[in-house]
Chain A
């Protein structure tokens, strides 16, 4: 029980910290929403117009900070993230709902691919110690994982889009294809996702390979594996049912957690590929000084990570009883 209480405490404190940070950050900016409004309309607009717009946007410049903070927390309880300055009159939640599917689709898929592929390579690499997979891949991926992944994206664009012309350079889909759920549209979306997804997989797969391989190696040295071999079980069976099944725990936990990072994980890739996901929106919000949208996105990202971390914690506790004892 102590373990659960501690995790709950962690969850609540982190959530509160994120919410508060989210509240404070925009207010540290020189100017703030009122100035943003004034410059947005070029200073030519009369003070009366500005006042009316402030009211429309729900900017309360005259309230005290504490009152604003309490109101902010209250609004969040109702799931109200406010009105976007850049997409007025859209609400922040509406804007996010437009971008979310794209990010979930692209990065979610890429994460699953990287996880499955990386784990399999790791299993085979460890099984064939000293083989090609085992001796070449780890150092190669240590190096690749040190590459700035937006730059890898740029190189991919240069090679496969500009030079070879195989894939589109930008967008989530072509403008000619309407966004109804039809086969041509789905194919078009897939077509556009290949290059950014490849970039993500390439720069993230190394982690899965290394973790899986190393755990396999440790597991393969265990007594029960020797037992199994001695009993003459088939190698495939030992590899998957005995070794991999036990060695995969850290990777599974990591996978649960990386799902939380899906939302924030590929911001720069989205930006490089002009992909209509949350990353593009976040940078746009920053550049437009669209505070409410910035806050909403940051909040969404934090909560997603937090939920994933807690999920991963419970997954560990459930799969590995030792964790509970240690705590």
Chain B
């Protein structure tokens, strides 16, 4: 109980300080100060190899954003769009073609002008070298071509409106005059990247232990960025990274800090803050081809048999809030959340109700308190988790205890990261705990499509791209397809409500907690940070390309 008090006081302090910070010099004086060096503190588990190829999945998170920019920035937290290399865009009425108007006056960091031809070149490049197409944009595109001097038209195979996020926001644009001379773009290291972004990495600016991003003096947004330099030290382990942040050597953190109020905030109460906006769910995935998970009542019983607030508190220090059975990540996507439906079902921890549902489904309670089916087979399942993810293990210990009260036995088994996902891909599991391996999107559609859309699934034994639990439901598929074909927000909202209804009634998957963007920041000497009242970007340094927005706005005080 005391802990909970501590946490809420921490949040209170946070909110009041933020309110104060909002009225601080930064916004009132108008022109932020220039100069200064900001240090990022993010455990990436690797030392730097000083390559910045934005198409290389290992290092794109270091290049895409501050160095290579997207066409349009699409805020992960609220879907607000900021034109970047494209000054505007327009969908055709049938949602099958998308036209970008390319910004003029932008220069590459080597002084060459940026043109629409560069955009077309980039998309052709990842088409001809499909190892570079990390977002699989060519699975929906049929053509990309230049129109006039400053327009690029993208034609789709079928309406795929949500792919805007991947095409406009997740695709770095590279210069044709540089990349056309690279013989093997897949194996390209790109140690001196030439981009349009606000920062550059100069020769000697990177060592295995640190990357120095220096200001691009010719950046197209005049006056920005304010910072002279951003350091990004390499951390392979959480603890040294957290200590580095807590001691004030870095100002912008992006990882889990245990007991953050005493570990971090207390070290400098006036300046050390955190904000953990939720971005997706941590779920119990059920394999619907495994009996009795094909029984709706059993799935509902499990949903009633998990004490989500306790999992959140014990397993995640309360930093990752309890999940909602609607599948909507709240409060981030409150706008999409149908509270009246959710209240009707009210999935609170209720072991008695869970037991009642199991009885209704034809199971009987054994002498050990675990339910059995008619043939005497106990409701006992193995749940996979990823080894090394200790917060999940701690969470699962709570879930295990919860479900035991409901009459269901689960046993945790940890697999290595790759082995775990392989089991999910091919459907070789009973239950699994975790998040989708894909990046989340700016509204609930992206995660729910990946979780529930049976067209992305595959028969047991074959690799599925999504829907690992093999949830097959014509109604769900139809709703998801209709959502993807419309640009009308009202219609999207009404479709999402129906998907929430399926989540609540059918329980195809059980969100337990939400996973968050870990974000700590120090206002000692710096201002302009994203905050709950000004969520101009997903705030973690690993939110790509959102971190560019932060690097553009943060400034010295």
Residues on A facing B (Cβ under 8 Å):
29-31, 35-36, 38-46, 48-49, 52-53, 56, 86-90, 95, 98-99, 161-162, 169-173, 175-176, 178-179, 271, 273-274, 276, 280-281, 283-284, 287-289
Contact of A171 with B421 at beta-carbon distance under 8 Å, contacts A38-B463, A98-B47 already known:
no
User: Does chain A have a CB within 8 A of B292?
Assistant: no
Q: Could you say which residues of chain A place their CB within 8 Å of the CB of B421?
A: 38-39, 43
Q: Which 9 A-B pairs have the closest CB atoms?
A: A170-B240, A52-B131, A175-B210, A39-B421, A274-B240, A89-B187, A42-B437, A87-B49, A39-B418
Out of A29, A52, A284, name the residue touching B46 (CB < 8 Å): A284
CB pair A289 B417 closer than 8 Å: yes
Out of A29, A35, A170, A288, name the residue touching B244 (CB < 8 Å): A170
Stretch at the interface among B229-237, B376-384, B541-549: B229-237
CB pair B465 A52 closer than 8 Å: no
Contact of A56 with B186 at beta-carbon distance under 8 Å, contacts A39-B421, A178-B204 already known:
yes
Chain B interface mostly helix, strand, loop or mixed?
loop
5 A–B contacts from the bound complex (CB under 8 Å): A42-B438, A44-B465, A98-B208, A176-B231, A284-B47
Contact of A169 with B130 at beta-carbon distance under 8 Å, contacts A90-B189, A284-B45 already known:
no
CB pair A52 B437 closer than 8 Å: no
CB pair A172 B209 closer than 8 Å: yes
User: Does chain A have a CB within 8 A of B331?
Assistant: no
Q: Could you say which residues of chain A place their CB within 8 Å of the CB of B401?
A: none
Contact of A43 with B425 at beta-carbon distance under 8 Å, contacts A38-B463, A52-B129, A179-B207 already known:
yes
- In the bound complex, CA of A40 to CA of B420 (Å): 12
- In the bound complex, CA of A169 to CA of B239 (Å): 10
Cβ proximity bits B51-82 to A, threshold 8 Å, 1 near / 0 not: 10100111000000000000000000000000
CB pair A87 B236 closer than 8 Å: no
User: Does chain A have a CB within 8 A of B139?
Assistant: yes
Which residue of chain B is the closest to A90 with respect to CB atoms? B49
8 Å CB interface, B286-322 against A: none
- In the bound complex, CA of A30 to CA of B415 (Å): 10
Which residue of chain A is the closest to B235 with respect to CB atoms? A274
- In the bound complex, CA of A15 to CA of B129 (Å): 40
Contact of A171 with B240 at beta-carbon distance under 8 Å, contacts A31-B419, A88-B58, A90-B49 already known:
yes
Q: Can you add 11 more A-B contacts, CB < 8 Å, to A46-B130, A48-B130, A52-B186?
A: A35-B418, A39-B422, A42-B437, A44-B136, A56-B186, A87-B46, A88-B187, A98-B47, A170-B244, A175-B210, A284-B236
User: Does chain A have a CB within 8 A of B512?
Assistant: no
Q: Could you say which residues of chain A place their CB within 8 Å of the CB of B244?
A: 169-170
8 Å CB interface, B103-149 against A: 129-131, 133-136, 139
- In the bound complex, CA of A274 to CA of B234 (Å): 9
Which residue of chain B is the closest to A161 with respect to CB atoms? B243
CB pair B233 A175 closer than 8 Å: yes
User: Does chain A have a CB within 8 A of B464?
Assistant: yes
CB pair B422 A35 closer than 8 Å: yes
Q: Could you say which residues of chain B place their CB within 8 Å of the CB of A289?
A: 416-418
Which residue of chain B is the closest to A102 with respect to CB atoms? B208
CB pair B45 A95 closer than 8 Å: no
- In the bound complex, CA of A146 to CA of B82 (Å): 60
Closest beta carbon of chain A to B456's beta carbon, Å: 9
CB pair A46 B186 closer than 8 Å: no
CB pair B417 A175 closer than 8 Å: no
CB pair A43 B243 closer than 8 Å: no
- In the bound complex, CA of A29 to CA of B417 (Å): 12
CB pair B240 A169 closer than 8 Å: yes
Out of A42, A45, A88, name the residue touching B56 (CB < 8 Å): A88
User: Does chain A have a CB within 8 A of B388?
Assistant: yes
CB pair B46 A288 closer than 8 Å: yes
CB pair A89 B51 closer than 8 Å: yes
User: Does chain A have a CB within 8 A of B39?
Assistant: yes
Contact of A271 with B49 at beta-carbon distance under 8 Å, contacts A31-B418, A87-B58 already known:
no
Which residue of chain A is the closest to B426 with respect to CB atoms? A35
Which residue of chain B is the closest to A83 with respect to CB atoms? B187
- In the bound complex, CA of A56 to CA of B184 (Å): 10
Cβ proximity bits B404-433 to A, threshold 8 Å, 1 near / 0 not: 000000000000111101100100000000
- In the bound complex, CA of A72 to CA of B437 (Å): 33
Task: Count chain B CB atoms within 10 A of each CB in A29, A42, A178 and give the residue with the most.
Answer: A42
CB pair B236 A274 closer than 8 Å: yes
CB pair A89 B56 closer than 8 Å: yes
Contact of A276 with B465 at beta-carbon distance under 8 Å, contacts A39-B418, A43-B421, A52-B130 already known:
no
User: Does chain A have a CB within 8 A of B228?
Assistant: no
Q: Could you say which residues of chain A place their CB within 8 Å of the CB of B209?
A: 171-173, 175, 276
Which residue of chain A is the closest to B388 with respect to CB atoms? A287
Contact of A46 with B189 at beta-carbon distance under 8 Å, contacts A38-B425, A280-B236 already known:
no
CB pair B233 A171 closer than 8 Å: yes
CB pair A35 B419 closer than 8 Å: yes
8 Å CB interface, B435-463 against A: 437-439, 463
Which residue of chain A is the closest to B129 with respect to CB atoms? A52
Closest beta carbon of chain B to A44's beta carbon, Å: 6
Closest beta carbon of chain B to A93's beta carbon, Å: 13
Which residue of chain A is the closest to B210 with respect to CB atoms? A175
Cβ proximity bits B178-214 to A, threshold 8 Å, 1 near / 0 not: 0000000011110000000000000010011110000
Q: Could you say which residues of chain B place their CB within 8 Å of the CB of A98?
A: 47, 49, 208
Q: Could you say which residues of chain A place their CB within 8 Å of the CB of B134?
A: 41, 45, 49
- In the bound complex, CA of A89 to CA of B52 (Å): 11
Which residue of chain B is the closest to A283 with respect to CB atoms? B236
Out of B51, B135, B240, B417, name the residue touching A39 (CB < 8 Å): B417
Contact of A162 with B417 at beta-carbon distance under 8 Å, contacts A43-B463, A280-B47 already known:
no
Closest beta carbon of chain A to B231's beta carbon, Å: 5
Q: Could you say which residues of chain B place their CB within 8 Å of the CB of A35?
A: 418-419, 422
Q: Could you say which residues of chain B place their CB within 8 Å of the CB of A29?
A: 419
Closest beta carbon of chain A to B389's beta carbon, Å: 11
Q: Could you say which residues of chain B place their CB within 8 Å of the CB of A86?
A: 46, 58
Q: Could you say which residues of chain B place their CB within 8 Å of the CB of A280?
A: 47, 236
CB pair A271 B45 closer than 8 Å: no
Contact of A49 with B131 at beta-carbon distance under 8 Å, contacts A31-B418, A90-B51 already known:
yes
Cβ proximity bits B21-54 to A, threshold 8 Å, 1 near / 0 not: 0000000000000000001000001110101010
Q: Could you say which residues of chain A place their CB within 8 Å of the CB of B235?
A: 170, 274
Q: Could you say which residues of chain A place their CB within 8 Å of the CB of B133?
A: 45-46, 49
- In the bound complex, CA of A304 to CA of B255 (Å): 37
Closest beta carbon of chain A to B461's beta carbon, Å: 14
Q: Could you say which residues of chain B place their CB within 8 Å of the CB of A41?
A: 57, 134
8 Å CB interface, B167-186 against A: 186
Which residue of chain A is the closest to B244 with respect to CB atoms? A170
Cβ proximity bits B357-391 to A, threshold 8 Å, 1 near / 0 not: 00000000000000000000000000000001000
- In the bound complex, CA of A170 to CA of B236 (Å): 10
Q: Could you say which residues of chain A place their CB within 8 Å of the CB of B58?
A: 86-88
- In the bound complex, CA of A273 to CA of B243 (Å): 12
- In the bound complex, CA of A217 to CA of B231 (Å): 57
Q: Could you say which residues of chain B place their CB within 8 Å of the CB of A39?
A: 417-418, 421-422, 425, 437
CB pair A53 B236 closer than 8 Å: no
- In the bound complex, CA of A316 to CA of B419 (Å): 48
Contact of A170 with B243 at beta-carbon distance under 8 Å, contacts A31-B422, A89-B188, A175-B231 already known:
yes
Closest beta carbon of chain A to B115's beta carbon, Å: 28
Closest beta carbon of chain A to B124's beta carbon, Å: 16
Which residue of chain A is the closest to B131 with respect to CB atoms? A52
Closest beta carbon of chain B to A296's beta carbon, Å: 14
- In the bound complex, CA of A56 to CA of B465 (Å): 22
Q: Could you say which residues of chain B place their CB within 8 Å of the CB of A44?
A: 135-136, 437-438, 465-466
Which residue of chain A is the closest to B138 with respect to CB atoms? A46
Q: Could you say which residues of chain B place their CB within 8 Å of the CB of A176?
A: 231
CB pair B136 A45 closer than 8 Å: yes
Cβ proximity bits B232-255 to A, threshold 8 Å, 1 near / 0 not: 011111001001100000000000
Q: Could you say which residues of chain A place their CB within 8 Å of the CB of B57?
A: 40-41
